[in-house]
Structure 1
Amino acid sequence: MTVGCVAGDEESFDVCKELFDPTLEDRPARRLRARRRAQDRAQDRPQPRHPAGRSRVRTGLPCLPPHCGRCHPIQQLSALKSMTEAEQQQPIDDHVLFDKPASPLLLASGMARDWPDARGIWHSDKKTFLVWINEEDHLRVIPMQKGGNMKENPHLGYILTCPSNLGTGLRAGVHIKLPHLGKHEKFPEVLKRLRLQKRGTGGVDTAAVGGIFDVSNTDRLGFSEVELVQMVVDGVKLLIEMEQRLEQGQAIHDLVPAQK
């Protein structure tokens, strides 16, 4: 059984602190350190020999869906509702548009209520800058591009609906193809030690298809944006090196990192 936590309103973190505090501490996380730009000091990026398919840095403005009513001004938007399913599918496949919530965590928390009313997106002509409206939070601001140069993605961070996003609110993700490493017994341990997490490219609770994973930072609390982005950059470089070793039939045990 899957169990999760969602804040119904701002006071939830105080009123229900007996639940939220241990949950946050177990991520693990101790200090709330966050505010401004991350990539200014982030060093290096994945090498083109085994390029990351796509990189994305996301932050958002909270709406706390269990507490949010239809009367809120931003919920008068109806852009997504005006699109047919066929018109929606291509931007979903391009990772520009979010899909309808399917995870039991999202459904139980009211994220799909009145779907698709009041949902929509804005994006730049080149689709390298996105604004998601009412997917989970009021706004999610997303610089996105092909390749792995995260230093080109400025962002801000704050407090969001999901406790896992408290702190920086930043999840820096890279779509990367790891057909060999993804099947290796050490893969989950390596991710844990690098403080990274994996999911499918379709979002939360989706599986990798064709060996392509969405790899991102596990932590939001206790680290600055610079540190979080650097963890992803360094971690993805190591994953690429491991994948190349496995492609050549070589062992990777000597590359398994210490716990960060």
Structure 2
Amino acid sequence: MYRRQFHRCTHSGVIFDDVIRPGLEEPGDWSAPVSVGCVAGDAQCYVLFCDFFDRVIEMHHQHEITSQTPEADFNHDNLKGSCDLDPSYAVRCEVSVVRGVDDFSFPTHCSRGERRQLLALARRALQRLPGRLHLLEELNQEQQRELNLDPPSSSLFRIGVARDWPDARAVWVSEDGRLVVRVNMEDHLRLVSTRDDADVAEAFKCVSTNLQKLEASYRELRHPFSWKQQLGWVSSSPADVGTGLRIRVHLRLQHLPGHKRLQDVLQRLRLRMATESPALHCVSNAATFGLSEVALSQLVVDGVKLLVAMETRLEGGRDIDELVPTQK
């Protein structure tokens, strides 16, 4: 595969070595969460190096790429049950979505000039939404903490995402504080809605409504979001193709995290769990490709309900075998 592709180069200058460098320099370890180990320098990478990316995408998302274009569904009224999550277990949630902008290299490869153009575009597009844009270089550390903005990791510097930091990086905050848009950080755009309850439907509604408004604005500016037939929306990471959507629910769990069948259950539910503290755990969708936006959100909501049911069983000293779902 390397011999077939090492000499190819996209219009913006991305070569195959640029794509696979993260996995070669930071191969990770078996105890860490599964990562894709590669990045796309621009949208053309998904076409020029499709032999490689298609295999990575299919294995990571556990879904076959076909000639059928992925269907979108942002109808938040179709999402059911998130208001029924037990607040004694489900304490907060976050819904985020990433988008790349056409005709620009992705953050791993873009130049300082491109990044500043992207910021100018974002400024114009976001003017149509009620809120305020803050340049990262004008925010002090306390203000950045309030907005949950962490400094870039060493790996982001190594792969080029944090190049020239914090030049042309910004964060937009809506008037009601329910939506944050990160500009030129890990991706061109990342919309995030965080709630102090587990009402995923409301967070999803906030993100999807504003995303569609932004999409229309970028189209009017003649720079639509990056989209590829058979894959859907694409950005720098193959882990985000399709929908670019992440749904995270933070759960208080005492017994289930140590259960021997937990990893099997999570795999069958197509979920991931990350430990934030001994009692607090973050559950999220493992894939973004193969299901619509509403279907992915519903998958997380239903999965969280089942995990909570398992936790209550374990609290009562009962087993969870009959609750384990059949393999999907």
TM-score, shorter chain, exceeding 0.5: yes
Give 1:181 shift: 1.2
Match of 2:78 among 38, 41, 47: 41
Q: Quote the residue 1:203 is aligned against.
A: none
Q: Within 5 Å, give how 1:35-184 maps onto structure 2.
A: 35-45=72-82, 46-48=84-86, 50-62=88-100, 64-72=106-114, 73-75=117-119, 79-92=135-148, 98-102=149-153, 104=155, 106-152=156-202, 153-154=204-205, 155=208, 156=211, 158-184=233-259
SS in 2 for 1:26: helix
- Cross-structure match for 1:187: 262
Q: What is the CA–CA distance in structure 2 between the aligned matches of 1:67 and 1:40, rounded to whole Å? A: 39
* In 1, Cα distance between equivalents of 2:323 and 2:154: 34
2:276 maps to 208
Cα distance, 1:258–1:144 mapped onto 2, change above 3 Å: same
Give the corresponding residue for 2:52: 19
Output the amino acid matched with 1:54: R
- Say if 1:53 and 1:175, in contact at 8 Å, map to a contact too: yes
- Summarize deviations over 1:90-145 as a string: whole Å, max 9, x none: 332xxxxx3123263x3432222222222221223442111111121111122322
1:193-244 Cα offsets, whole Å, 9 max, x none, are 1001123xxxxxxx52233222111121111112111100100000111111
The DSSP-based 3-state class of the residue aligned with 2:113 is: coil
* Most deviating of 152-161 and 227-236: 152-161
1-structure distance, mates of 2:75, 2:173: 22
Question: Which structure is higher in helix share?
Answer: 2
Using the TM superposition, give the Cα deviation of residue 171 of structure 1 relative to its aligned residue in structure 2, in angstroms.
1.1
The offset of 1:176, in angstroms, is: 1.5
Deviation at residue 178 of structure 1 after TM alignment: 1.8
Distance 1:17 1:158, change over 3 A: closer
CA distance in 1, matches of 2:247, 2:269: 14
Q: Distance in 1 between matches of 2:93 and 2:87?
A: 16
Separation of aligned partners in 1, 2:257 and 2:170: 34
8 A contact 1:132–1:141 mirrored in 2: yes
Structure number with the bigger relative contact order (C-alpha 8 A, sep ≥ 6) is: 1
User: When the two structures are aligned, how many residues end up with a matched partner?
Assistant: 247
How far apart, in 2, do the equivalents of 1:120 and 1:211 lie?
A: 33
Q: Which amino acid aligns with 1:100?
A: P
Among all aligned residue pairs of Structure 1 and Structure 2, give the percentage whose two residues are the same amino acid: 37
What is the Cα-based RMSD across aligned positions, in Å? Answer: 2.3
Which residues of structure 1 form unaligned runs of 5+?
Answer: 93-97, 200-206
Letter of the 1:102 partner, please give it: S
3-state secondary structure, aligned to 1:40? helix
